[in-house]
């Protein structure tokens, strides 16, 4: 099993994916352990001082004015975790919970939180053992960190609450720790707060969404190329000199993909000189690089924000060991992450929208250039892909609703102490649904385009022509699994789900890149 080493510097996107999705183990570096020890020494000194220090010898939030005597401070930490583990609703996905724990561990490793090394080592060991605390859907406002979700994780470190073991079985946390040979932690001063005061949940979901969207946008270029080809469109509009007139980075990359994908197409060659009837294609075909490119640029902006967050030490109060200080701050506010999470939901909705429009053109006899209505085998007897487009339309409509921003919907809490919150967790949760929806819409376009391209190359005036090597590879990949093959009506839902799996796994993108090399 791969092991990710967590140090004082940021973890990478690839490392986040390795831990969250591939189950990689984690280890703290010696440098990180030394930084943790230095910060802990500061906390221990302040804990023994007569003056109150927030998070160490006081209550929390609106109760920060209460000075807690030494003999009550362990109870203070336990009470904090138990009271904050107040989530409700369905269980959150395993990969999200592992992201929560990994990114919290990454912040602990910076040496700015004041936890003891044994607490950080236990968190690493729980991750490595494949133990996943049960975290609930609702509970985070995205300010003061993802408090409730992280509290459920901290509760498991205390040997309380429920977890999923490495096999996915629901068991008590104490039992799972014992089976893994781990002892529950007895939290000391400052540790409870350090374990829950971060934007780790929303950040983990942002990193995973960016990872998925990068693959999806390349796959959307593949689907667009197949649609242009099968709808007898023109590729002249994707020429590099035309794209250079508007120097948007993502647009240029998407257009370059489309040129590479359509290179060598016999279907395109069959009508390339028809400059009378095919002067201009519809926007959904002609403007694919502009829309997909803008989406790419937005994703890369979000990635820049995510990279900054991965390099951050988000806690309150924060330990500045070099100066021997513990200072309150507002770095736990999730606004930077929440904004780009909302922005990406807009991207998912719009790319899905243009994909659905390209698909719909295939089904309309008036617009599909002599293909059968709805790509049906015997129109009237067969309905073809009529209702597959309904499914696309239903998803696109849902994605538009999910594009309504969560980050503008602040709601005050904690007796008005926390009077402006980011709602970043909510933005992240809806973005996950948006990414899933986009995956499904693009998969249905691919299925539709493959069926149309097969009809185009086997029937009518273009019979005997061949698709481009890249698009032909996708047609073959899908056909091997019974996807996008013309013929009488059949049970479509399994076919759609199979196409979705090929898109989500990256198999469609891999099939193309094996033929023409890496896409942008």
Instruction: Give 280-336 pLDDT, tens digit per residue.
Output: 899 999 999 999 999 999 999 999 999 999 999 999 889 999 888 888 898 889 999
Query: For residue 37, what are its two tokens?
Result: 């020890």
Tokens representing 69 are 């005597």
Outline where DSSP puts E strands in 396-485: none
Q: By C-alpha distance, which of 263, 220, 224, 265 is closest to 240?
A: 263
**How does strand 170-172 pair with strand 136-138?**
unpaired
Distance CA 456, CA 451 (A): 9
Place of tokens 């309504």: 404
Tokens of 490: 């059949």
Q: What are phi and psi of 121, to 5 degrees?
A: -65, -35
Q: Where are the domains of the chain?
A: 3-198, 205-235+291-405+423-516
From the first residue on, what is the mean pLDDT of each consecutive set of 10 residues in the chain (520 residues)? 93 98 98 97 86 71 70 84 96 98 98 97 98 96 90 98 98 98 95 94 98 98 98 95 97 98 96 69 97 98 98 92 89 94 98 98 94 97 98 98 94 79 94 98 98 96 96 98 98 98 98 98
Topology of domain 3-198, CATH: Fumarase C; Chain B, domain 1 (1.10.275)
**Contacts by residues 166-174 (CB-CB < 8 Å, ≥ 24 positions apart):** 166/129, 166/130, 166/131, 168/94, 170/134, 173/131, 173/133
Report the Cα 145 to chain-centroid distance in Å: 19
Please, where are the H alpha helices in 129-276? 147-157, 173-179, 191-196, 200-230, 240-243, 249-262, 266-269
- In which residue are the tokens 């350090």 written? 194
| Nearest alpha-carbon partner for 424 in 132, 200, 150 | 200
Q: Looking at the domain covering 205-235+291-405+423-516, what would its CATH class be?
A: mainly alpha
- Alpha carbons 390 and 230: distance in angstroms, whole number: 21
- The two tokens of residue 13 are 């996107």
Parallel, antiparallel, or unpaired: how do β-strands 318-320 and 325-327 relate? antiparallel
Alpha helix segments (H runs only) across 48-158: 73-84, 94-108, 117-128, 147-157
Cα–Cα distance for residue pair 492/476, rounded to 1 Å? 18
Annotated catalytic residue within 54, 138, 283, 339: 54
Alpha-carbon distance of 295 to 351, in angstroms, equals 7
Residue showing tokens 């629901």: 170
- How far apart are the C-alpha atoms of 332 and 425, rounded to whole Å? 13
DSSP state of 489: -
Residue 226, Cα to own-chain centre: how many angstroms?
Answer: 26
Helix (H, G, I), strand (E, B) or coil at 20: helix
Least Cα distance to 130 among 161, 102, 160, 158 occurs for: 102
Q: Measured between alpha carbons, how far is 298 from 284 in angstroms, rounded to an integer?
A: 19
User: Is 54 one of the annotated active-site residues of the chain?
Assistant: yes
pLDDT digits (tens, 9 = 90+) for 42-95: 999 988 877 777 767 776 665 666 777 777 778 888 999 999 999 999 999 999
pLDDT on residue 61: 63
What pLDDT was estimated at residue 1?
A: 65
Helix (H) or strand (E) holding 338: helix 335-363
Residue-level pLDDT at 162:
98
Q: Hey, what are 16's tokens?
A: 């986040």
Among 254, 260, 257, 259, which residue's Cα sits nearest to residue 234?
259
Before 317, cis peptide (omega within 30)? yes
């Amino acid at each position: 099993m791969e092991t990710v080493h967590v140090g004082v510097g940021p973890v990478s996107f690839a490392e986040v994916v390795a831990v969250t999705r591939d189950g990689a183990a984690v280890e703290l570096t010696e440098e990180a352990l030394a930084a943790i020890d230095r910060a802990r020494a500061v906390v221990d000194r302040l804990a023994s001082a007569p003056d109150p220090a927030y998070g160490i010898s006081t209550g929390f939030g609106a109760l920060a004015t209460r000075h807690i005597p030494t003999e009550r401070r362990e109870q203070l930490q336990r009470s904090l975790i138990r009271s904050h583990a107040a989530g409700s609703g369905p269980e959150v996905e395993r990969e999200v919970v592992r992201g929560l724990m990994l990114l919290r561990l990454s912040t602990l490793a910076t040496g700015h939180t004041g936890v003891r090394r044994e607490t950080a080592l236990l968190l690493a060991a729980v991750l490595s053992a494949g133990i996943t605390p049960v975290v609930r859907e609702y509970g985070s406002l995205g300010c003061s960190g993802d408090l409730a979700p992280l509290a459920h994780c901290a509760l498991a470190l205390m040997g309380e609450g429920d977890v999923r073991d490495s096999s996915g079985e629901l068991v008590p946390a104490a039992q799972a720790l014992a089976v893994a040979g781990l002892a529950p932690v007895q939290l000391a001063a400052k540790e409870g707060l350090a374990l829950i005061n971060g934007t780790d949940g929303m950040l983990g979901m942002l990193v995973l969404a960016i990872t998925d969207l990068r693959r999806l946008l390349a796959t959307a270029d593949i689907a667009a190329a197949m649609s242009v080809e099968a709808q007898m469109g023109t590729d002249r509009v994707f020429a590099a000199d035309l794209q250079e007139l508007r120097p948007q980075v993502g647009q240029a990359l998407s257009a370059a993909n489309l040129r590479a994908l359509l290179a060598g197409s016999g279907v395109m060659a069959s009508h390339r000189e028809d400059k009378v009837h095919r002067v201009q294609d519809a926007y959904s075909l002609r403007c694919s690089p502009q829309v997909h490119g803008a989406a790419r640029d937005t994703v890369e902006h979000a990635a820049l924000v995510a990279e900054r967050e991965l390099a951050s030490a988000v806690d309150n109060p924060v330990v500045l060991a070099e100066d021997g200080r513990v200072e309150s701050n507002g770095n736990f506010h999730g606004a930077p992450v929440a904004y780009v999470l909302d922005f990406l939901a807009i991207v998912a909705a719009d790319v899905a929208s243009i994909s659905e429009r390209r698909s719909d053109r295939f089904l309309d006899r008036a617009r599909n250039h002599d293909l059968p209505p709805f790509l049906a085998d015997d129109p009237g007897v067969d309905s073809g892909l009529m209702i597959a487009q309904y499914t696309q339309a239903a998803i696109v409509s849902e994605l538009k609703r999910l594009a309504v921003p969560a980050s503008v919907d602040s709601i005050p809490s904690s007796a008005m102490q926390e009077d402006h919150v980011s709602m970043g967790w909510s933005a992240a949760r809806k973005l996950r649904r948006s990414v899933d929806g986009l995956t499904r819409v693009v998969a249905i376009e691919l299925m539709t385009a493959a069926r149309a391209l097969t009809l185009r190359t086997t029937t009518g005036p273009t019979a005997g022509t061949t698709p481009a090597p890249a698009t032909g590879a996708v047609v073959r990949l899908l056909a091997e699994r019974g996807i996008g093959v013309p013929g009488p009506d059949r049970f479509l839902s399994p076919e759609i789900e199979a196409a979705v799996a090929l898109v989500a796994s990256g198999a469609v993108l891999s099939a193309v890149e094996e033929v023409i090399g890496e896409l942008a």
